[in-house]
Structure 1
């Protein structure tokens, strides 16, 4: 057992895969909301988010969509909000793959973070 495994010994591989994806999604949400963005910076912001989150332990893939269908302020940008984000993080721990999702749910009026799927491979 590696020294890192000692800290997670109370989690199953399934729980660890979910944990790694969910903690990364929480970091993404709290790190990037409020970021100024417009059509000119949209692609570079998406790439920066994806690249930085992929650095986290057990993260296999990150896909970010940003919906900029809001009016820019007088300075030519909007502040990124949770309702603009549609994110899918794929995390893997050993042979368990978890997909953690965040998207705005109209009926909840909330950018919900949830487990989309978990499977052993």
Structure 2
């Protein structure tokens, strides 16, 4: 026989972090970006995700050196945004639980993970 319990505040806070990352990545992947537009795209991404419930702060950094390297081999003046250009951190606060999650490249893959989970007793 299985039992069912309501999710805890820490579980819900972690879920919220995952939702924010899914939204951020899939909303903006493929967006045209250049070194000149990277700063404004970073701010747009942050503001967009910060609108969501329980989101306290979003920090997005686009690696403009990596963008420049990509464009050095290209006839175009822009490329499309992918995880390899992104460094992102998201802070969630849900009912006394604070969660920080980050996305960074690891072995060629944009890996999203929880970095801290802090709950009030």
Q: In the alignment, what sits opposite 2:99?
A: 98
Q: In the alignment, what sits opposite 2:84?
A: 83
Structure 1 segments (4+ residues) deviating >6 Å: none
Structure 1 position 22, deviation (Å): 1.1
Q: In the alignment, what sits opposite 2:6?
A: 10
Q: How does 1:64-79 map to 2 (within 5 A)?
A: 64-68=60-64, 69=66, 70-72=69-71, 73-79=74-80
Q: In the alignment, what sits opposite 1:120?
A: 119
Structure 1 position 74, deviation (Å): 1.9
Give the alignment's Cα RMSD to 1 decimal. Answer: 1.3
In structure 2, stretches of 5+ residues that fail to align are none
- Structure with higher Rg: it is 2
Q: In the alignment, what sits opposite 1:57?
A: 53
Distance 1:18 1:87 in 2: 16
Distance 1:74 1:91 in 2: 41
How many residues align structurally? Answer: 111
